[in-house]
Chains A and B, each alone.
Chain A
Amino acid sequence: MTARPVAVVRATAMRWVLGGVIASLLVTVMAPCFLSSLRVYEWSPELDGYVLKEGYVHRKRDEGWASTRYGPYGFASVARLGGSDASTVMIWGDSYVEAHQVDDEQKTVCQVNNALSEQGLPQFRAVAVGRACWSVADYYFKIPQYEKLVDPVCHFIVLAEYGLNDLCPDGETFVSEPALQFVRRSLVDSRRSAVIAGLHRWGLSDMLLAPWKAVRTVLVSGRNIRFSLGPRKEADEPTAGSGCRLLASESEPNAVIESWSYALERLKARSSRPIVLVLVPEVPRLERGAVCLVDPQSEWRRRLARLCTAEGVGCIDMTATLVNDYRATGKFSRGFHNGKPDSGHLNARGHWLLSRQICAYLDEHKDTLLKTNYALHAD
């Protein structure tokens, strides 16, 4: 490098440091408008797990553009739990029930409650318990704690992610080797959560969001770092027992039915309340330039419905509702303008359709549901 006078070097360095500071400030201030917020969890002794902090407002920006306000015990869109004589119905699910993509009033749970009032069914009120990446094993472990808390009369379990995979062994929370078994896990990293909670308490979680994301990008990029010569080895095949593989192949129908049977048996053993599976297939969707109204998993769904009947578990199949709605309105039940327009999470219309189906079920079974007194299961 060529030598330069000290004064010039100092002035240049100052200019670049100042420029860096100004750029950092600009991005730090602007970025939170376009970034989803960091989830702020708190420990709940009653639920023996982490829940989203009461009063926390989650901002979603990368798919949909919405805010979700959290109430007590991590219930979304619920200001308070007590003070109502209505019987509670619980809606369980993963990110489809968490529904960060739509505003509170558009979420299934709010639409169910509104519809119940409108339809003259004030005997019921709904609460939703959903968290991204949850699956059937998580519902199994959490049902008793939530039953103690809200004493529901019914559990709706929404299965909307990749068809029916949530009911199949995933090798992580639902293992198939050596035998079918649910495995308890925590999706929340306690140290990370403590840091974010601390930042939130000091009002810094938004201020530090951009640096947080930048560090995360570097860490994620560094995760698969490689310096060996190519070619890169092909990614490993899906592990045995994964839901995707099982459902993709028709060769092992018994294995699928066995796993479903196991899951339903375990859920039933966990709760004396009626359990209703709500199947939300990925129709309609775009496929090679055409709107596809046929669910490739329709045969599996029929088998599951038959199994539910045999096991005494309720089952709502949304296929016809979704297809008919598309035919009538031309609108997709999934997708957003800043995601994909036809697939991904449920949009406001998808939540509305789901809420109508749940209300219809409640209306049809209200007598049975309201007459039964359930004993709480021992944990």
Chain B
Amino acid sequence: MLFTQIEYFIFFGIVLAALLITRSHCVRKRLLLLASYYFYAYWDWRFLFLIVLSTCVDYFVALGLARTSRPSRRKLLLVTSVTCNLGILGFFKYFNFFVQSLEPIFGVFGLHYGTLNIVLPIGISFYTFQTLSYTIDVYRGRLEPCRNAFDFALFVAFFPQLVAGPIVRASEFLPQLESNVRLSWYGTFLGFRQFTIGLFKKVFIADHLALFVDYVFDNAGAFDGVSTWCATLAYGLQIFCDFSGYSDMAIGTARIMGYHLPTNFRSPYLAVSMTDFWRRWHISLSTWLRDYLYIPLGGNRKGRTRTYVNIFITMLLGGLWHGASWTFVFWGALHGAALVVEKWLGSMKRTATLSHLPGIVGWLATMLFLFTTWVFFRAVSFRQAFLMLRQMYGFSGGVRWYYPFVLATLVLAIAGHALAATNVVSLRQLAHNRLVTPVVLFSMWWLVLVFPAEGFNPFVYFQF
């Protein structure tokens, strides 16, 4: 069920009505759990058992961790959880990828394995990371295990963020389940505002840009340099509006029901360095990678070289998390390399560090790198990516396609970013007591309804 589908509005209306008429806090939570399981089973009921399995494993492992202080047993329990979670993720998401990638090696020894017809369970990358973080936090002693199985199940399956994040930490969410969450007018307003903005970004901007972007990438190499640059810029805007739109809708939905989910984006295209970018883009993932991968690898505590290696490995695996394809790995590697270079320049105390450059130069350099690497993120193969880059940087001739909506959106996006950078425009201006707020929000709803993009448009991040 997509947040943009009419089914979702009916489903959410029923859930909200049920929450409003239910007085018992406990019953409300059970209702939410039931609704969350239905929300997931609506896509495919057969994969519900994976969530339940993941929930059970981490629930009992955490309880086991609380009962024992023997390091070997604790380690064994942690390994059990990690193996189980990553095993499920690895099988469903990466099995075919590894089989295909290793085929040339197997072939040398005369071994030939076929791939399996595996359906990728939606949201598996997100809830796996969520449950993993919980167990690791309990193992580290930073979190008390959740004794209530239903609460824990709700933390894993809470429907607004179940399929595409934000990746919520147990320490942020479980305490909310312990207190009696109350619905408020102001919370409803904030949630409605954020949901509306997310809906507008997804349906009105991202889905329309996708029509152009998809066609140019599918025909990479056929379009002239300017059109190809437009497609790359449009893709950067599309994926931002698509993913941050989803996050906004998730956060907005949760907010209406009285729950707080963490912010996932902070104007990422205002970043003046790649380090800055990763503090603004998919924040719940980047902080997860920092806390549960980079720091356990040693972080910056084991010398300069090891720090660079750790950064690179973290970004490489971050790339792989996005999808089972070498283009994602390469994209992660490029970002990792950029972060290493920035770190190195910073440690050399050179003024040439991107973050020390004058704002506009740093911003331009960051954007140039960022949008160039988006090509690898979007392309289905290296061939496609290099054809796009050839057109972009070779300014080669080809079919000219200047889609008016795309051009207008790009111009408005740049203007909007400029205004946001100077704080002329901010969400604060859409305050609950200003007339402009309902005008803007209702206009967004109108535009979404009057100009829908054709066809079925799932969120880009559903594939991850």
* Interface residue ranges, A against B (CB under 8 Å): 1-2, 4, 12, 15-16, 18-20, 22-24, 26-27, 31, 34-35, 210, 213-214, 217-218, 221-222, 225-227, 229-231, 286-291, 332, 337-338, 340-342
Contacts and interface: CB of A to CB of B under 8 A. Distances in A.
Contact of B185 (A1, A23, A217, A337): A1
A230 B41 contact: yes
Interface string B369-395: 000000000000000000100000000
Interface in B207-255: 215, 218-222
16 contacts: A18-B438, A19-B437, A20-B438, A23-B439, A23-B442, A23-B445, A23-B446, A210-B450, A213-B450, A214-B446, A221-B6, A229-B42, A229-B45, A230-B41, A337-B403, A341-B399
Given A19-B435, A231-B46, A291-B222, 16 more contacts: A1-B184, A18-B438, A23-B439, A23-B443, A24-B442, A26-B439, A26-B443, A213-B450, A217-B452, A229-B41, A229-B42, A230-B41, A230-B42, A231-B44, A290-B221, A341-B401
Given A1-B185, A26-B443, A15 B438 contact: yes
Contacts of B433: 12, 15
Contacts of B101: none
A340 B445 CA distance: 27
Contacts of B215: 340
Interface of B: 5-7, 10-11, 20, 38, 41-46, 182-185, 188, 215, 218-222, 387, 399-405, 432-433, 435-443, 445-447, 449-452
A345 to B, nearest CB: 15
Given A289-B219, A342-B399, A213 B449 contact: yes
B388 to A, nearest CB: 10
B399 A286 contact: yes
Contacts, number: 115
B7 A19 contact: no
A317 to B, nearest CB: 25
A290 B450 contact: no
Contact of B442 (A20, A35, A221): A20
A188 to B, nearest CB: 23
B185 A2 contact: yes
B222 A286 contact: yes
B221 A289 contact: yes
A2 B181 CA distance: 12
Contacts of A289: 218-222, 387
Q: Which 7 residue pairs across A and B have the least CB separation, nearest first?
A: A19-B438, A23-B442, A214-B449, A27-B446, A341-B401, A289-B221, A221-B6
Contact of B450 (A35, A230, A342): A35
A301 to B, nearest CB: 25
A288 B381 CA distance: 13
A332 B223 CA distance: 13
A102 B374 CA distance: 36
Contact of B439 (A22, A34, A213, A214): A22
Contacts of B43: 230-231
Nearest to A340: B215
A320 B188 CA distance: 63
Nearest to B222: A289
A289 to B, nearest CB: 4
Contacts of A214: 446, 449-450
A24 B446 contact: yes
A218 B449 contact: yes
A2 B446 CA distance: 29
A210 B449 CA distance: 9
Contacts of A286: 219, 222, 399
A217 B450 contact: yes
Contact of B7 (A1, A26, A226, A337): A226
B207 to A, nearest CB: 13
A231 B436 CA distance: 42
Contacts of B221: 289-290
A218 B446 contact: no
A214 B449 CA distance: 5
A220 to B, nearest CB: 8
A206 B7 CA distance: 30
A350 B222 CA distance: 21
A244 B351 CA distance: 64
A288 B184 contact: no
A18 B436 CA distance: 10
